[in-house]
Amino acid sequence: MSTTLSGVQARTAVAARQLVKVYGKGETAVRALDGVSVDFAAGQFTAIMGPSGSGKSTLMHCLAGLDTVDAGSVHIGQVELTSQSDKGLTKLRRDRIGFIFQSFNLLPTLTAEQNILLGLQLAGRRPDPEWLDTVVSVTGLAQRLGHKPNELSGGQQQRVACARALVAKPDVVFADEPTGNLDSRSGAEVLGFLRTSVRELGQTVIMVTHDPVAASYADRVVLLADGRLAGEIHQPTADSVLAAMKNLGA
């Protein structure tokens, strides 16, 4: 199944304009984001990279409505985030955004299947059985659905978290260092799955990573330095990302 038609790819899933985020006040204030404008195309896998402290996590949190901005705007589809109430933001995150974190964040007492479906249940939505089958089969979890997180490897737990993020058909999945706690083989599996979700299921994925190899799975790398955009790489390789990071002094 291929839904990544060129028309879909041209659509903008997430757009940030002139984002400013300042932590603290007065002499100790830090401009974590200093006028960032960037678009993320639908049906694309984008990695956000940059030296430590360059603003990657801050940008992701502001794009996902997990943190407020001091100036600028963020659109997810047609919805402008910064004008939303707390209630509106909670609903938007629940209905339109999927999250994958470094530390899988699964509930230990629930099975893999229950973890995958929990968000939908809390939202009072029924899973689409066909889509659930697709997500379970693409993540390779069919034989593991009845297992609790402590009966699964780290890679399998992160694949459960990926399935949980995808099952609600979100407009965009934000992944924050998704391979940070995994060995390289499990990390490659999770990255391979994220790439498949983009290429074959038409998902939009935005990932923060430190790792040039992880970034090479993306269609595009957006580089940050000192809270500003510092370039981008299309069809990145680990070598081209490493060279760009070295140029930024990372």
Ligand X SMILES: Nc1ncnc2c1ncn2[C@@H]1O[C@H](COP(=O)(O)OP(=O)(O)OP(=O)(O)O)[C@@H](O)[C@H]1O
What are the residues binding ligand X (CB under 6 A)?
23-24, 30, 32, 50, 52-58
User: Which residue lies nearer to ligand X by CB, 28 or 78?
Assistant: 28
Burial code (b: 16+ CB inside 10 Å, e: under 16) for 131-156 equals ebebbbebbebeebeebebeebebbb
Do the strands 79-80 and 71-76 form a parallel or antiparallel pair, or are they unpaired?
antiparallel
Q: What is the largest CA-CA distance in the chain?
A: 56
User: Which residue lies nearer to ligand X by CB, 24 or 192?
Assistant: 24
From residue 91, alpha-carbon distances to 65, 88, 130 in Å are 11, 5, 25
Cβ atoms within 10 Å, residue 52 = 7
Q: How far is the CB of 133 from ligand X (least distance, A)?
A: 36
Q: How far is the CB of 17 from ligand X (least distance, A)?
A: 19
Q: How far is the CB of 101 from ligand X (least distance, A)?
A: 13
User: Which residue lies nearer to ligand X by CB, 156 or 209?
Assistant: 209
User: Which residue lies nearer to ligand X by CB, 61 or 159?
Assistant: 61
User: Which residue lies nearer to ligand X by CB, 32 or 112?
Assistant: 32
Q: How far is the CB of 209 from ligand X (least distance, A)?
A: 9
User: Which residue lies nearer to ligand X by CB, 171 or 176?
Assistant: 176
Q: How far is the CB of 81 from ligand X (least distance, A)?
A: 17
Give the H or E element holding residue 133: helix 129-138
- One DSSP character per residue, 218-241 reads SSEEEEEETTEEEEEEES--HHHH
The residues, ordered by sequence, that sit 6+ positions from 61 with a Cβ below 8 Å of its Cβ are: 67
Q: How far is the CB of 24 from ligand X (least distance, A)?
A: 6
